Homo-oligomer: A and B are copies of this chain.
């Protein structure tokens, strides 16, 4: 099932650079694993902001929460979740 996610990242500007680098590396690794395993089909950068818009594809709400709360940056993010259904005007891909 598809969920639309907006994630706004609020990293403190004075965060220790090493802690920051480690966080971002782990975040990249984590997110790319999810992508490779097909749970994260769409990931875009919101142009001009430290935020992303994603569409994730997981079995249910519990799997969604496990996936998002497992993000290394989870504690630094405001996350907005919107369940997506099929649209009657959508043509077949």
CB-CB contacts below 8 Å: A9-59 with B: 11, 13, 27-28, 31-32, 35-36, 42-50, 52-53, 55
CB-based contact A61/B89 at 8 Å: no
User: Is the beta-carbon distance between A48 and B84 smaller than 8 angstroms?
Assistant: no
Distance A48 CA – B6 CA, assembled complex (angstroms): 10
Complex contacts, A53 vs chain B, CB 8 Å: 4, 82, 84
> For residues 39 through 87 of chain A, which have their beta carbon under 8 Å from a beta carbon of chain B?
42-50, 52-53, 55, 60-62, 64-65, 68-69, 74-76, 79, 81-87
With a cutoff of 8 Å between Cβ atoms, the chain B residues found around residue A32 in the complex are: 89, 91
Q: Are B4 and A86 in contact (CB under 8 A)?
A: no
